[in-house]
Amino acid sequence: MSATLYYFDGRGKAEIARLTMAAANIPFNHETIREKKQFETMKSEGKLLFGQLPMVEFEGHQLVQSSSIARFFANRANLLGSNEEEKLKIDILFEGSRDFNSAFMSYGFVGFTEVLDKAKATAMPKYLPIFNSMLSKNGSNGYLVGSKISLADIGLLEVVLTIEELLGQDELKPYAEVQNFLTTMKSNELIHKYLNSKLRPRKNDEKYVAEVKSVLY
């Protein structure tokens, strides 16, 4: 059964849901929210439990909260680990990837270069060595936990793709394991297909930021 994702015309809080549905091989289409009226209608119809996007309709459910959506689909495709030890590691590393990712979430909303300068000064030198080390400790096989893709990888992938696109591959040069991880992820057939599809939104630009603000405020 296919899913329908409701979100703005950009990545934002929905990108982890898109990446996870892609990796879990769940077909989905995108309902783009461009006008305040659409958003208000969804809220008044009770479709958004906390009055927020993204929301995913799937099998009669209205899934909200981006991490919950990701865990739900990851669970369907056995991407949460196969034993308690793996499940714990994947959960912790996914949460860490969310903290790391939050450094880039406001790109365009509180400036463009400002956000990147701050991420280069704080989040990147903090998190990249840690994830590089975890990839090494797991055997340098391109995965954070075990020997296949997990939600932890999907979480890290979102951030590393952002860094590559917004700051360039050179930023990853000191982190050989992260580079190897990125190659492994991009060679995943499902991930590759999604990243090269029209479902993958463009990076934030001024038009997107203005559209989101016009819906929310």
**Which residues would be at the binding site for a second copy (CB under 8 A)?**
49-51, 61, 63-65, 67-68, 71-72, 75, 84, 87-88, 91-92, 95-96, 99, 126-127, 130
No. of H helices and E strands in the chain? 10, 4
Q: What is the smallest separation between the CB atom of 94 and a second copy, expressed in angstroms?
A: 8
Tell me 14's DSSP state: G
Closest contact distance (angstroms) between CB of 68 and a second copy is 4
Closer of 46 and 170 to a second copy (Cβ): 46
CB-nearer residue toward a second copy: 158 or 208: 158
Minimum CB separation from a second copy for residue 96, in Å? 5
To the nearest 10°, the Cα dihedral for 32, 95, 113, 5? 0
Residue 100: DSSP 8-state: H
| Closer to a second copy by Cβ: residue 63 or 124 | 63
Cα separation, 168 vs 160, in Å, equals: 10
For a second copy, the closer CB: 13 or 191: 13
* Least distance between a second copy and beta carbon 87 (Å): 8
